[in-house]
Each structure stands twice: as C-alpha cells, then as structure tokens.
Amino acid sequence: MSEMTSVERVLCVLRREQPDRIPHFEWIIDKQVREAICPGCTMEEFSVRMGLDAILTGADFAKEEISPGKYRNEWGMISEDTGQGHTFPVGGPISTFADLKKYEPPDPHAAGRYDSIERVVAKYKGDKAVGVHLNDVFSIPRNLMGMENLLMAFVAEPELIKGLVELSVEINIEMAKEVAKRGADFVFTGDDYAATEGPMISPDMFGEFLYEPLKRVMAGFKEAGLGVIKHTDGDIMPILDMILDSDIDCLDPIDPVAGLDIGEFKKKYGDRIALKGNVDCAHTLTFGSEKEVVEETKEVIRKAADGGGLILSSSNSIHSAVKPGNYLAMWNAIRMYGRYPIELDAWADSGAGEAFA
C-alpha cells in the first residue's frame, strides 16, 4: 500500500478500514513531557515535529481571570488551574430552572468564534487530520451547574436537566455546522459518563434523560459531514449499548483501569465502531519500564489492529506524571510494529530508546 497522508489515515480508520499504518495522536500531551522531548514546542508544534496524525483545536471562548489561577469564561463557568495544562470546573451560573430560563449561552455564530479553527485548517488541511473539540450531552450541564448539583437535579429537578441537555444539543449542532464549513475533519467529545466503578448516573436515568439527545447531537455532527470520536473514561458497560446506538464512529479509550479489554471490544463491536486507545497511562506509562511500554503497545496492536479501525494512543492522555522516555517508547513501538500487514515478530525487541536514537 502506498503511503497515506495523516488525514487519509485517520479518516480511513474512522470508516473502520485498514490504513497503511496505525495512526497515533493524543488529546493532551502535558507541557513537562513535551519540554523533555521537544523543548519549547507548543502542542501544535510537537504534533508536527513528532509526526502525529491529527492537529486538535477548538472554538474560541473568551475568559477572564477573576482571582489567581481562577477564570470565568463566556459561558459563566468558573474553572481553576490544575497544573496539568488544563483547568477544572469549580462553579457555574445555573442552580435553578429560573436561572436557566434567563440564561443566555454564548452565540455559536459570533465573529471570531472559529479563528483558531480557520488558522489550523489553512495550515494543515489535506495533510493532518483536523479535529475539533465539541461537547455532547453531559459536560456543559455539569459545568453550568457543578457536578454535585447536577446529579441531585436528575432526581429533584428533571425539567432543569432536560433544559440543560437541550441547550447543549442545540448549541453543539450549530457549532458543528460552523466547523464543518471551515474544513474540520472530525469532532471529538470529552463528556465523561462514568468512573472506574460505573456510570455516574443509573442506566435508567441515562436512557430517560441523555439517550435520545445523544442520538440527536451525534446525528447533527454526522449530517454536517464530520467524523465523530466519543471519549468517556470508566466502566461504561451498563450504558454501552446506548452509546453505540448513537452512531459514533470511534470510541475512546476502552479504559483498562475500569477493567475494559480492547480485544473484547474489537471482537464484539469492531464491525460497528473504530477504537482509540489504550496503553495504560495510570500505571504502565507512568511507572513501567520502556520495555513494559513496548510490550503493552504490541499487545494493543495484537488485540485490536486486525483489519484496521484502530487509533493507538494512551488510555486517556500523556499527563505530567508520564515518563517522557515511556511516551517515546510507545511512539516508537507504534511506528515499528504498526504498519500493515502487521508483523509483530518482524523486529527484534531492542527497546524503544535505542530505536528512537
């Protein structure tokens, strides 16, 4: 097979087809890890210099610092620095249904809203796959209310939940239309539904409040011509059928910490969805040796690469505790062992450090 461009490779996988080699990219690569490997690189520059297959971006929302390390954005959401290259939501503008009725969300059509996306598309379209972060049905309601208040409202104020979810669906479908017009290739949504022990709400509540809206927002993304990668950590098995029925193209990360096995997902669902994951970033990439990282990367390939439909990455992100050498070991193993036809025993297990050098 002739060499594909990165965008051809990623879109091939999202169609559950076999590319020339397994693509690789990460949602986040922490600055400390990037600095150790590629000093001074932004995430975008790192992605280019390391030959990652996607450039990730998002819509532009203004924010103001309201106290040291604490910010309020256009949504009225308040977040704090985490030291991990992203912020954590700590407060929002909605507590009651009355708050929702008078709430005005950001305009998805506002001037300048997609400047970052336009810049990335102009620079990389046709070479790298351009992925845009949007939301589906959970993160915006959570951030507008706060997690504890949101979970209580599922029982105490169902109409408030329905209104928040509808707001999220409508605005994200409108944003999808805008990013598609500007040339994005796929969207990824990071609305986590589960923890290690199971879903954050019961399957019955998920079915009542989120299932139909999830299908609608995913249909809106697909109608705009965008591929869809759905991210959610945790044990999603009790709600998996509803997630799959929403017509996503790819599921990430098949969380190994929650006991999910990417090989079982490939066997059972590989004819319906592509998979992204799942070298363990909680244990192997953080505490393991480079040899252990290479072996786990090969195991993911062995279990899930057959016939295509696999984007190989960490099981969540390359956070600050990941050893830079371990990330390089995974990066290199993907390139050594991830070319089709897959031949895992064709290379000597020499260690990724030597191969990278």
Summarised one tens digit per residue, pLDDT across range 314-337 is 999 999 999 999 999 999 999 999
Looking at the domain assignment, is residue 100 inside a domain? no
Looking at the domain assignment, is residue 141 inside a domain? no
How many structural domains are present in the chain? Answer: 1
Looking at the domain assignment, is residue 40 inside a domain? yes
Looking at the domain assignment, is residue 3 inside a domain? yes
Looking at the domain assignment, is residue 318 inside a domain? yes
Looking at the domain assignment, is residue 353 inside a domain? yes
Q: Which domain holds residue 33?
A: 1-52+273-357
Residue 351's pLDDT is 47
Residue 350's pLDDT is 46
Looking at the domain assignment, is residue 186 inside a domain? no
Please indicate, yes or no, whether the overall pTM of this predicted structure exceeds 0.85: yes
Looking at the domain assignment, is residue 128 inside a domain? no
Question: Which residues, listed in sequence order, are joined to residue 88 by a DSSP beta bridge?
Answer: 80
Summarised one tens digit per residue, pLDDT across range 156-168 is 999 999 999 999 9
**Is residue 355 scored above 50 in pLDDT?**
no
Residue 85's pLDDT is 65
